[in-house]
Amino acid sequence: MALSRLPGGLAGAQGRYAGETSPALVLVEAAADADTDATTLLAGIDALAEVCSAGTNLILLGGVNDVTLYRNLLRRGVADYLVMPATPMRLIEAVQDLYRDDSKRPAGQVIAFIGARGGCGSTTLACNVGHRLAHQTGADVAVLDLDLPFGGADLAFNLEAPHGIQTLLNDPERIDESFLQRIASKAGEHLHLLAAPAALDQDAAVSGVALEACLAALRQQAGYVLLDLPRVWSEWLRQTLTAADQVVVTATPDLVSVRNTRNLLDLLVTRRALDQPPTLVLNRIGAARRGEVTVRDFATAVRLAPALTISEESQVFGLAASLGKMIDETNRGSKAAQAIRQLADRFVITPPRRSGPAAGAVPAWVGRLFGGR
Ligand SMILES: Nc1ncnc2c1ncn2[C@@H]1O[C@H](COP(=O)(O)OP(=O)(O)O)[C@@H](O)[C@H]1O
Ligand SMILES: [Mg+2]
pLDDT, one tens digit per residue, over 202-212 is 777 888 989 99
Pocket of ligand 1 from Cβ distances under 6 Å: 115, 118-124, 152, 283-284, 310, 312-314, 317, 321, 336
Is the CB of residue 59 less than 8 Å from the CB of residue 94? yes
d(CA 264, CA 114): 9
Closest C-alpha to ligand 1, atom 6 = 317
pLDDT in the model for residue 174: 80
Q: Which residue has the higher pLDDT, 135 or 65?
A: 135
Closest C-alpha to ligand 1, atom 10 = 121
| Helix orientation angle between 255-271 and 295-302, rounded to the nearest 10 degrees | 40
- 311 CA distance to ligand 1 centroid (A)? 11
**Does the bond joining 85 to the residue before it have cis omega, within 30 degrees of 0?**
yes
> pLDDT of 244-260, one tens digit each?
999 999 999 999 999 99
- 296 CA distance to ligand 1 centroid (A)? 22
Rounded to two decimals, the pTM is 0.72
pLDDT in the model for residue 101: 62
Ion ligand 2: residues, Cβ under 5 Å:
123
> pLDDT of 3-59, one tens digit each?
778 888 899 999 999 988 888 899 999 887 777 888 888 999 989 988 988 778 999
pLDDT in the model for residue 366: 56
Ligand nearest to the CA of 322: 1
Q: Is the pLDDT of residue 358 over 70?
A: no
Confidence category of residue 354, pLDDT binned at 50, 70, 90 = very low
Is the CB of residue 283 less than 8 Å from the CB of residue 292? no
Q: How far apart are the first and last CA of the chain?
A: 24
Domains of the chain, CATH where assigned: 9-103+353-369 (3.40.50.2300), 109-345 (3.40.50.300)
- 118 CA distance to ligand 2 centroid (A)? 7
In DSSP terms, 137 is beta-bridged to none
d(CA 46, CA 40): 10
pLDDT in the model for residue 37: 86
Mutate which of 117, 124, 257 to test ligand 1's pocket (most atoms within 8 Å of Cβ)? 124
Helices and strands (H, E) in the chain, number of each type: 16, 11
- Average confidence (pLDDT) over 248-277: 94
pLDDT in the model for residue 256: 97
- 106 CA distance to ligand 1 centroid (A)? 33
Question: Considering the chain, what is the average pLDDT of its residues?
Answer: 87
Find, among 1, 36, 37, 31, the residue nearest to 14 by Cα: 31
Q: Are strands 308-311 and 279-285 parallel, antiparallel or unpaired?
A: parallel
